[in-house]
Chains A and B, each alone.
Chain A
Amino acid sequence: MFKQIQNWFDERIGLTKVIEEFNGERIPRRGGWAYTLGSVLAFLFTVQVVTGIFLLFYYVPYFPIARNATYFIKHHVIFGNILLGIHLWGAFTMIFIILIHMARVYFSGAYKKPREMQWIVGMVLFSVVVVLGLTGYMLVGNENSWWTINVLDNVASHTPFIGGFLRIIVKGGTETSVLTMQHIFAVHVWLLPIVVIMFIPIHLFLIRKTGHQGMALEYKNSKLSDDDEKKWQHPDGTVPFFPDQFYKDMIVALGVFAVVYILAVYVGAPIGPMYRPLALNFAPEADWYFLANEELLKYFPGHGLIIFSTFLVPSIGFAILFALPFIDRTKERSPFKRPAATVLGILFLLLLVYLTLIGGEPKAPATV
């Protein structure tokens, strides 16, 4: 019976061959667990899409109602708290794991020729995922949403030349209004998810074309010199993607999913009070992954310097990260044989952690 169905498809489109081709990708053998991060990201993104679709059964992107609709999902819809919780903690976990995935790629030098495009596409995915997080935060319609919209929109307004237009376009007008939320909503549920859905396959296609580099420890037996690009295409041992690598991917996915689920059930998604533009005593807070940036915004007082914190420092930092494969063109991959890159990477991560930790503390207004 099964055989017959298989034959039916094979006669027409050679399905078995297609599947075998797909499943048979050769993955470097030794560091398999480190290569599960990308798949876990794809898995988490799928979970975000699925939970997001069902949140839409109740959510309304209208400022005075959004927060109450979210509250209703959490408190009055059966298992709505779990669904909302998975969506929130799934998003946090995704941002966290994307950083680890980037770190793994960075320290193993896997962005170098011929894999520059993977890195660029990855950076697009990274930017989009972060903006997905920020827009999601705004959609709750609570106090933080309201002030986050205002703060980030003002940040956008300091972009040279186009800042003024940008601010109005993002807001859907000159003031924060119901149109603002409608725009953010369309961006969060349509525009950005579609970008991710388009770029993940490109990312994966490129990885298949160049082969998976993995880490330097895969190439110990190779006789070629480290400068030879060919060396980094032939790891000592490989296993097929299915089932060997997929098996590891699934185990890690289960572990990550269990953590997300437990956080969803026992911590859940805080909703907070309705937005109050009139509030006298409210101190807005950003989500954890934005605190480093938030901290940066505190250091450049006054008219002349504001552009450093809102535009120059973030965008130059971002541009350097984006163009990394073209800036670092050395051929060496092992983190121990390129100490400068490794130390810089570690310092950058420490700075990020430090800024994040102190970014949570409100700072007294600077006197100029």
Chain B
Amino acid sequence: MAKSSEESPSRRTFMMVVIGLISTVIGIALAVPILGVVLNPLFRKRDIVWTKLGKISDLNLKPLDPKFVPVYFRVKEGWSVNTLPRQVVVVKQVNGDLLFFSNQCTHLGCPLHWIPARQKFLCPCHGGMFNITGQVVGGPPPRPLYQWVHKFGKDKDTVYIQNKFKDNPKDRGI
């Protein structure tokens, strides 16, 4: 019969080494698939789609009067196709240019309110403030409002929006 750990110190050391090695092997073998599963989102590509916002002529835009228009992106997520409802804030500038803002504050993403009396977008969370061109005029937000990637249809009236912001290298928000 093999010696017990009490009879032979070297046998004890040997057992300890084997126990350590096996624990390491099993630990690593389990950690690999777990890491794969946990880190998987880092390697996933976001599904980018176009969706129709509608005709500009139907919105009755007046300068300095933002319109909140909902859009519904149909994107593939995991095992299903989901609807992402999002707000597009359409603003007509005095010179006639159109801007398509996201209603998310660029500080930490709260939903902005348009306050007509003050001609400002106010953030209800930490007091961020933006003017009608999307520039920060108060509070903590670090950058101007996000603008949706958009394009016009053949009729030069219908607008399509992509679930993606311009100048947004880190893909924040959305």
Contact = CB atoms under 8 A, between A and B. Distances in A.
A239 B37 contact: no
Contacts, number: 89
A177 to B, nearest CB: 20
Interface residues of A, number: 36
B16 A254 contact: no
A247 interface: yes
Given A57-B38, A68-B80, A243-B12, A253 B22 contact: yes
B169 to A, nearest CB: 25
Interface string A66-85: 00110111001111101100
B30 A47 contact: yes
Interface string B3-37: 01110000010011011001101100110111111
B4 A83 contact: no
Contact of B26 (A68, A78, A80, A257): A257
A313 interface: no
A218 to B, nearest CB: 12
Contacts of B26: 253-254, 257
B147 to A, nearest CB: 32
Contacts of A246: 15, 19
A243 B36 contact: no
Interface in A24-57: 29-30, 47, 50-51, 54-55, 57
A83 B26 CA distance: 14
Contacts of A261: 29
A65 interface: yes
A244 interface: yes
B79 A250 contact: no
Nearest to B29: A261
Given A83-B34, A247-B18, 8 more contacts: A50-B34, A51-B33, A77-B40, A80-B40, A82-B32, A240-B4, A250-B23, A251-B22
Interface of B: 1, 4-6, 12, 15-16, 18-19, 22-23, 25-26, 29-30, 32-40, 43, 78-80
